[in-house]
Amino acid sequence: MTETADRKAVVQLSGIRKQFPGVLANDDISLDIYEGEIFAILGENGAGKTTLMNILFGLYRPDAGEIRIRGDLADFSSPRDATALGIGMVHQHFKLVENYTVAENIILGLEPVRKRLGLFPLINEKFANREIAELSDHYGLKVDPRLRIKDASVSEQQRVEILKMLYRKADILILDEPTAMLAPQEIEHLIQVIHELRRNGKTVILITHKLDEIQRLADRCAVLRRGRLIDIFDVKTTDTAHMAETMVGHAVDYDLKREKREPGEPILTVENLSVIEDKGVSIVKDVSFSVRAGEVLALAGVSGNGQIEI
């Protein structure tokens, strides 16, 4: 889905500029995003990707430039304004209430009221759960509505964030580094969900620096570098080498040459390390390893499995 001549731009950013103390985060960025496409925004850390989308979602106000949604000029003073125009955003770090259930998080602020008991509204939980279940089934976002967020996995929390957008009737969905904390099988499921969103007419904006995911998902891709828009291209006609070169500003050599050398003696030894958090939950259990002089040791695992604690 890369032809744009006869397609409707649902998002038009023109001359967007945003300055923070000592940093020009967005420098005169203009781009159009079309209805029903998956549009990737590629760039290194600090390139201005998230700042630009935070402006589109109403978290920041641009210092200059304008935003048009479906052709109409939009002036967002808060995310509430963006939500009212059908824009939703899932941040890299989720915005959920840990002690609330899945259903309570999804309907928060839009609770269907059954009746009032004096000054207090009685929430129509049956109606809310039915609507959540319909959205979950339709988009493949299965999650127990009674589950408390503090007990939910990262992928379950992400599904809740997406369901929050859909419950609010969003048709322009911004996903900020959505695969950063997911296991491989969870990434595959998310990719299926994103394709299903597009099949249902949603416009998906994907913030990422992962080239393989752009190739698998996106129709078009905008590349930002140091706050400036460098290029916009059709993904189907572009290889990863060009993407990488455009992103960093020079050719990328994937053929890394490393000298073979023998590691030295152990300089750090950890034996039977266990970590229990404040609530009594075991985070790390009986872990042992050593690090030798001159070697690089990687700690691999899905986020939240004890790497930080170690």
pLDDT range class, residue 21, cuts 50, 70, 90: very high
Assigned domain for 4 exists:
no
Q: What residues contact residue 22 under an 8 Å CB cut-off, 6+ apart?
A: none
Lowest mean pLDDT of 45-54, 59-68, 194-203, 264-273, name the range: 264-273
3-state secondary structure the chain: CCCCCCCCEEEEEEEEEEEECCEEEEEEEEEEEECCCEEEEECCCCCCHHHHHHHHCCCCCCCEEEEEECCEEECCCCHHHHHHCCEEEECCCCCCCCCCEHHHHHHCCCCCEEEEECCEEEECHHHHHHHHHHHHHHHCCCCCCCCEHHHCCHHHHHHHHHHHHHHCCCCEEEEECCCCCCCHHHHHHHHHHHHHHHHCCCEEEEEECCHHHHHHHCCEEEEEECCEEEEEEEHHHCCHHHHHHHHHCCCCCCCCCCCCCCCCCEEEEEEEEEEECCCCCEEEEEEEEEEECCCCCCCCCCCCCCCCCC
Q: Confidence band (pLDDT; 50, 70, 90) for 251?
A: confident
Please identify, among 221, 248, 275, the residue that sits at the C-terminal boundary of a domain: 248
Torsion of CA 81, 110, 201, 56, to 10 degrees: 20
Same domain assignment for residues 276 and 202: no
Q: pTM of this prediction?
A: 0.81
* CATH classification at residue 107: 3.40.50.300
Co-location of 166 and 265 in the same domain: no
pLDDT band at 3 (very low <50, low <70, confident <90, very high): very low
User: Which of 29-38, 104-113, 252-261, 272-281 reaches the highest mean pLDDT?
Assistant: 29-38
Q: Is 2 a member of any domain?
A: no
pLDDT at 263: 82
Instruction: For residue 299, give its domain range.
Output: 261-309
